[in-house]
């Protein structure tokens, strides 16, 4: 069966995956771009000139073998994007997904076809139902769970995530949305590895035990 994978999911040392005050011009609120600077520095993100060490090895795993993405309404756009019937997402005309993307929202709308192979589909559905839809679209390839934190937590709690890659960044955000709430005893279901890299981030990988 195709796997469900989370990649490059970045949090502060105090566990926040996004800051407070999310808006169109501040998709991570007061966190700004600081949660992802480690990733922007890699070749996988910036091409020629980017780093090719451990951070890049992790970052590169984002794309290959993925046939569809699932994301939450909070990753698709700023609060209340649903009020604008013409809204096409925070990702520009050619979004970096290049695959069907299933956006979970309690206010679904018709699908939107973008450039570069991304089509946004909107679903009001349980995690398991959404995954069935995404698996079908992925046609045997894996499904990436793109976040945000609320959706990652819900899928982990529904026991649907096979591989979780979290990157802990040396920042204390203090406020925002936490990743880890309500995930007690995750170590009983997953093998956990940790590796710190010279950029000062720590990659945590959770691999579901069979």
Give DSSP secondary structure letters for 142-204: EEEE---HHHHHHHHHTT--SEEEEEEES----SSEESSTT-TTGGGTEEEEEEE-TTS-EEE
Q: State the minimum distance, in angstroms, from the CB of residue 7 to ligand NAP.
A: 9
- Does residue 65 contact residue 140 with C-beta atoms inside 8 Å? no
- Does residue 203 contact residue 167 with C-beta atoms inside 8 Å? yes
Among 4, 35, 101, 161, binds ligand NAP (CB under 6 A): 35
Site string for ligand NAP, 120-159 (x = CB under 6 A): ----xxxx------------------xxxxxx--x-----
Structure tokens at 66: 């993925």
Q: State the minimum distance, in angstroms, from the CB of residue 10 to ligand NAP.
A: 4
Long-range contacts of 182-189 (CB under 8 A, 24+ apart): 182/153, 182/157, 183/153, 183/156, 183/157, 186/156, 189/159
Asked if 22 interacts with ligand NAP (CB under 6 A), we say: yes
Residues numbered 179-198 forming contacts with a second copy, rule: CB under 8 A: 180-187, 192-196
CA–CA dist 146, 194 (Å, integer): 21
Q: State the minimum distance, in angstroms, from the CB of residue 210 to ligand NAP.
A: 27
Asked if 10 interacts with a second copy (CB under 8 A), we say: no
Interacting residues with ligand NAP (CB under 6 A):
9-10, 17-18, 22, 27-28, 35, 72-75, 104-107, 124-127, 146-151, 154, 177
The residues binding a second copy (CB under 8 A) are 13-15, 168, 170-175, 180-187, 192-196, 200-202, 204
């Amino acid at each position: 069966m195709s796997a469900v994978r989370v990649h490059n999911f970045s949090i502060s040392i105090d566990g926040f995956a996004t800051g407070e005050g999310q808006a169109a011009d501040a998709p991570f609120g007061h966190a700004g771009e600081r949660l992802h600077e480690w990733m922007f520095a890699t070749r996988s993100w910036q091409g020629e000139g980017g780093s090719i060490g451990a951070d890049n090895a992790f970052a590169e795993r984002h794309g290959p073998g993925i046939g569809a993405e699932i994301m939450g309404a909070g990753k698709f756009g700023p609060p209340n994007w649903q009020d604008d019937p013409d809204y096409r997402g925070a990702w520009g005309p050619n979004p970096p997904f290049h695959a069907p993307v299933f956006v979970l929202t309690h206010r679904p709308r018709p699908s939107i076809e973008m450039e570069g192979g991304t089509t946004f589909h909107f679903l009001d559905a349980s995690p398991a139902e959404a995954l069935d839809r995404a698996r079908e679209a992925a046609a045997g390839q894996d499904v990436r769970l793109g976040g945000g934190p609320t959706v990652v937590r819900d899928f982990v709690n529904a026991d649907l995530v096979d591989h979780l890659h979290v990157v802990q960044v040396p920042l204390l955000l203090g406020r925002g949305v936490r990743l880890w709430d309500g995930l007690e005893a995750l170590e009983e279901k997953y093998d956990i590895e940790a590796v710190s890299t010279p950029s000062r981030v720590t990659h945590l990988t959770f691999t579901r035990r069979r």
